[in-house]
C-alpha cells in the first residue's frame, strides 16, 4: 500500500499490467496529438493574419483603381495613383512568398497540404496558393481608365479568393479545437480507467489492513492467554 499501486511488478497482475501499459501509451499519444493540433492552430492563425494584411492591400488597390477611372483626373495624377498601386502589388507578392510558419511556406504553393498528426488519426490543412499569378494580378496597372476598369474586376475576384481562404482557415481551426477537446476528454477517461486497475483502492486497502491488524492482535492475545493458562496449570501442580 505504501507505493500507492496495486501492481508493482508483472507477477502482481500480468493481465492488468498489459492493459495499463496500453493505456499509458494511449495517454502519451493523445498528449503529443494535442501538442501537434495546437501547433496546427498557430499555423492557421499565422496564415489568417497574413491573409488579413493581403486583404487590406487589395482593398486599397481597389480604391485606387476606382479613383483612376474618374474622368476628371489628368495623366500625371493617374501615374501617382498607379505608382502606389504597383507598390501595393509588390507587397502582395512579398507577403505570399515570405509567409511561413516554423520555416514551412504557406502561400507560395510549395505546401498545399500540411499533415497534422493527432495520435490515432490525422488532419490535413489546405494551404491555398496566393501569389500574384494565382490571384490573377500580375501585370495589372491603373495608368488609364480602361486598364483601371479591367483591374477592378480582377481585384474583386482576388478579394473573393482571399475571403474564401480566410473562411477555410477558420473552419480548419475549429476542427482542430474540436480534436483537442475530444483528445483531452479521451485522455481524462484513460487516466481514470488506468487508475482503477493500477492504483491502490486506499479505502479497501485500509479496511483490509485494519482487519489484519485486529486478527494479528487477537492472535497475540490468544497466545498470551494460552501461555498464562499453562503457567497457572504448572502453578497448581506444584
**pLDDT single digits (tens) 51-69:** 999 999 999 999 999 999 9
DSSP state of 139: T
Give the pLDDT confidence score for residue 198 in this predicted structure.
65
Q: What is the total residue count of the chain?
A: 238
Instruction: Give the rounded distance of the alpha carbon of 1 from its chain centre.
Output: 38
pLDDT beyond 90 at 48:
yes
74-79-81-86 Cα dihedral, nearest 10 degrees:
160
CB contact burial 90-109 (16+ within 10 A = b; e otherwise) = ebbbebbeebbbeeeebbbb
Comparing C-alpha atoms, which of 161, 162, 146, 166 is closest to residue 44? 166
Give the pLDDT confidence score for residue 205 in this predicted structure.
45
Give the pLDDT confidence score for residue 148 in this predicted structure.
97
Question: Predicted confidence band at 238 (pLDDT cuts at 50, 70, 90)?
Answer: low
Question: Predicted confidence band at 45 (pLDDT cuts at 50, 70, 90)?
Answer: very high
pLDDT beyond 90 at 142:
yes
**pLDDT single digits (tens) 4-26:** 455 555 444 455 556 666 777 77
**pLDDT single digits (tens) 183-210:** 888 888 877 777 666 665 434 444 444 4
Give the pLDDT confidence score for residue 160 in this predicted structure.
97
Give the pLDDT confidence score for residue 3 in this predicted structure.
47
Give the pLDDT confidence score for residue 204 in this predicted structure.
46
pLDDT beyond 90 at 221:
no
Amino acid at each position: 500500500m505504501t507505493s500507492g499501486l496495486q501492481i508493482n511488478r508483472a507477477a502482481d497482475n500480468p493481465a492488468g499490467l498489459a492493459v495499463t501499459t496500453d493505456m499509458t501509451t494511449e495517454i502519451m499519444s493523445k498528449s503529443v496529438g494535442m501538442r501537434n493540433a495546437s501547433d496546427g492552430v498557430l499555423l492557421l492563425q499565422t496564415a489568417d493574419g497574413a491573409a488579413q494584411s493581403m486583404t487590406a492591400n487589395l482593398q486599397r488597390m481597389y480604391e485606387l483603381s476606382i479613383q483612376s477611372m474618374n474622368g476628371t483626373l489628368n495623366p500625371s495624377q493617374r501615374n501617382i495613383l498607379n505608382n502606389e498601386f504597383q507598390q501595393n502589388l509588390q507587397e502582395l507578392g512579398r507577403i505570399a512568398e515570405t509567409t511561413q510558419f516554423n520555416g514551412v511556406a504557406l502561400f507560395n504553393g510549395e505546401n498545399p497540404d500540411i499533415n497534422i498528426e493527432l495520435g490515432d488519426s490525422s488532419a490535413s490543412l489546405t494551404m491555398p496558393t496566393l501569389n500574384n499569378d494565382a490571384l490573377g494580378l500580375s501585370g495589372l496597372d491603373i495608368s488609364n481608365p480602361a486598364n483601371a476598369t479591367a483591374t477592378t474586376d480582377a481585384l474583386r475576384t482576388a478579394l473573393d479568393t482571399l475571403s474564401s481562404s480566410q473562411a477555410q482557415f477558420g473552419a480548419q481551426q475549429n476542427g482542430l479545437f474540436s480534436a483537442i477537446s475530444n483528445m483531452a476528454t479521451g485522455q481524462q477517461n484513460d487516466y481514470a480507467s488506468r487508475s482503477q486497475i493500477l492504483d491502490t483502492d486506499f479505502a479497501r486497502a485500509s479496511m483490509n489492513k485494519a482487519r489484519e491488524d485486529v486478527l494479528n492482535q487477537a492472535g497475540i492475545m490468544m497466545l498470551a492467554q494460552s501461555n498464562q493458562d499453562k503457567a497457572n496449570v504448572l502453578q497448581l501442580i506444584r
